[in-house]
Structure 1
Amino acid sequence: MLIVMEHHATQAQIDAVAARIRELGYEPLPIPGANRVAIGVLGNRGYVDEEPFRDLAGIQELIHVTKPYKLASRDFHPEDTVVRIGTVEVAWHRPPVIIAGPCAVESREQTLAAARAVKAAGGRVLRGGAFKPRTSPHSFQGLGEEGLEILAEARAETGLAVVTEVMRIDQIERVAEVADCLQVGARNMQNFDLLRALGEAGRPVLLKRGLSATLEEWLAAAEYIVASGNDQVILCERGIRTFERALRNTLDLGVVPWLRQVTHLPVIVDPSHALGRRDLVPPLARAAWAVGACGIMVEVHPDPARALSDGPQSMDPEGFAALCAELDRLGALLDAAAP
């Protein structure tokens, strides 16, 4: 439930409503607004009866919120959340951010070369998997601890912030020593124990959409992190599995403007994993820019033909630099056309 107070409600009236919420065994969440205060009711597992609030002064409206993602919704948090990855800000009302790098950390030379290319082209955050979940147990699984050390060196040399995936709760502390942002992969989107632990990790979280997840399931997964004390969550659309098999996945760009309406959490797009083909990454990256995404995440490898993971979808440094230049031009056009 969301309790909207009158614009002239006194602090004593607001406190009385919060006290009544606690008496009922729930938790009040004051939500200050420009003209009035609203109070969210948290902790209920079903319908909240309106009757206990009928005799309280200063209430304008009682709104029943049935979404399973209250804290991630604009109902409870109308203002955009700014997620800070190091010094990089990701938010709906900020310029879009480019996150790029290899799918997997394969070697020191490969990762440093990719990081230099990302930096030179205008990327702000380096991505790279030290721990890699793969469909086949025989595929390259990443370098683990050695990969984290290489990412730390790349950050020290280039100044780029780092995002890398964490797969298990027992990895969080070690990965957080290196990474500025902890990624949850599509396969772990509903690993609820991991999500709760990440809510207490003290690092921003990049939450990828599950392979066949609905938008409600995705936002509910984000709710686990936010409800555990961490509102620094970025949602990443990376395509979903549908009946169509011409491409690796179906990239759902329509979620970007829709999510901007319903959640304060920023949303970025990963065209590399959605498509699986590097030649299709630039047009979909431009499309993500155009529909208002808060950023994109692109795979870049110094020698895609020799990549140990996702070579066909990885851009080489030259192609990535050209894409960044295109996005700069597109951004200028969109800014000029904005009302």
Structure 2
Amino acid sequence: MILIIKNEATEKSIIELQDYLADNNFFYEIIQGNNTKVMTVIGDTSLLDDNIVRSFDCVDDVKRITPAYKKVSRKYHPEDTIVEVNGIKIGGKENVVLIAGPCSIEGEQSTLYIAENVQKIGAKIFRGGAYKGRTSPYSFQGLKQEGLKDLQKVKTYFNMPVVSEILSIEQIPEFVEKVDIIQVGARNMQNYELLKALGKINKPILLKRGMSATIEELLMAAEYIVNGGNKNVILCERGIRTFEKAFRNTLDLASVPYLKKITHLPIIVDPSHGTGRRELVEPMTLAAIACGADGVMMEVHNNPQCAFSDGAQCIDFEEFAQIVKKSKLIAKAIGRDIY
């Protein structure tokens, strides 16, 4: 870590900073340039809070040489992390996995019907929301425990792993029992108490990027889970909020190859939430695979117009079949395959 010292800093203020660093077992060295004075800090600087360091009167700016996240960084863990779910390996150079299902679980009959069809077409993991965190309190909030029971039936009847979003710490026991991959939604990406709790369980976590989160903030959120002991984390790019109004979100596909470079964790893409538009799901799915995504998660419904939630971004079975067909060609072109 490099600290830029203010030109007008007093000797007393610098000594206060030096004492703070020494008390916390950090070594430091002051370098006087022609116009600038800097202090280099040596040690595990991930333990240093930038805001606390900036609070010292003598500090003008803080520059990190190494990232604040450690355990999710490829620099400290060069090998790819492979997350395995029911024999399906996600990450590294493994096959690309397709995850599909409705936005919301709508009942046993429709859930099983959709699961049967998406599995036949090519999905290996079923997605569906039992608890729905919605922007409006008047929107459909999910079937909750009944929805989780319907997801269990998908596992039983089709031997298909399921992923669903958790909303609170209190729900962890039932999710551990009934869900194969626990999804942390965009709104909960920085719910640090929830992340800490999920770090204590042995269950794959799908961590979605917050709608206004930087890549570093996403990785710091993942660090909470991994630091707690749970190394089975899958990152998910699901679009970020920008000034563009043509789409629900702006799908940041540049984040995929960049994340593959700086972290060992697998990353999947959600083009449904990433665009909010049905006609954009196919091209963004193909682009996601082309740029290295380890999986794609899509919202699929037998009748999107009648879906309980997010019907505008749901594709039907025919559209999903076309995406699967084209995805195999793209995967082959980059030396991979589709499960």
Separation of aligned partners in 1, 2:304 and 2:65: 48
Indicate the SS of the match to 2:296: strand
Q: Deviations over 1:131-173 (max 9, x none)?
A: 0100000000110000010000011111111110110000011
CA-to-partner distance for each residue in 1:239-298, whole Å, 9 max, x for gaps? 000011111100000001101110000111000001111111000000001001001000
| Corresponding residue of 2:271 | 271
Contact 2:46 2:70 in 1 (8 A): no
Structure 1 runs of 4+ off > 4 angstroms?
A: 40-43
Aligned-residue offset at 1:41: 5.2
Could you say what the CA RMSD is over the residues aligned between the two structures, in angstroms? 1.9
SS at match of 1:177: helix
Percent sequence identity is 50
Distance 1:42 1:156, change over 3 A: farther
Aligned CA distance change for structure 1 residues 66 and 332 (closer, same or farther; 3 Å): closer
Q: CA deviation at 1:65?
A: 5.7
* TM-score, with length taken from structure 1: 0.81
The one-letter code of the counterpart of 2:146 is E
User: Pairwise mapping of residues 140-151 of structure 1 onto structure 2 (< 5 A)?
Assistant: 140-151=140-151
Query: SS in structure 2 opposite 1:77?
Result: coil
**1:95 Cα deviation after fit:** 1.2
Unpaired runs of 5+ in structure 2? 2-23, 27-42, 51-63
Question: How far does the alpha carbon of each residue in 1:173-215 deviate from its partner, in whole angstroms, 9 at most, with x for none?
Answer: 1011111110000000000000000011210000000011001
Counterpart in 1 of 2:249? 249
Distance 2:114 2:204 in 1: 23
CA drift of 1:44 comes to 3.1
Which residue is 2:216 aligned to? 216
Residue 125 (structure 1) shift: 0.5
Which residue, 35, 44, 64 being the options, matches 2:47?
44
Q: CA deviation at 1:92?
A: 2.4
Aligned equivalents of 2:242, 2:324: Cα separation in 1: 30
Secondary structure of the corresponding residue to residue 335 of structure 1: coil
Mapped pair 1:66 → 2:66: yes
Aligned match of 1:282:
282
Q: Which residue of 2 aligns with 1:118?
A: 118
Q: Distance in 1 between matches of 2:151 and 2:223?
A: 29
**What is the aligned partner in structure 1 of residue 312 from structure 2?**
312
CA distance in 1, matches of 2:273, 2:146: 24
Q: Which moved further from structure 2: 87-96 or 230-239?
A: 87-96
Structure 2 length-normalised TM: 0.81
Shift of 1:216: 0.6
Query: C-alpha distance in 1, partners of 2:126/2:176?
Result: 15
1-side partners of 2:87 and 2:172: how far apart?
Answer: 21
| Matched residue, 1:85 | 85
> Which residue in the other structure is 1:169 paired with?
169
- Compared with structure 1, are the counterparts of its residues 327 and 42 closer, same or farther at alpha carbon in structure 2 (3 Å cutoff)? same
Contact preservation (8 Å) 1:92, 1:293: no
The one-letter amino acid paired with 1:157 is Y
On the 8 A contact 1:173/1:201 being kept in 2, the answer is no
In 2, distance between residues paired with 1:41 and 1:93?
32
How far apart, in 2, do the equivalents of 1:195 and 1:253 lie? 25
Deviations 1:304-328 (A, max 9, x none): 1110101111111111111111111
Counterpart Cα distance in 2 of 1:177 and 1:226: 21
Correspondence for 2:331: 331
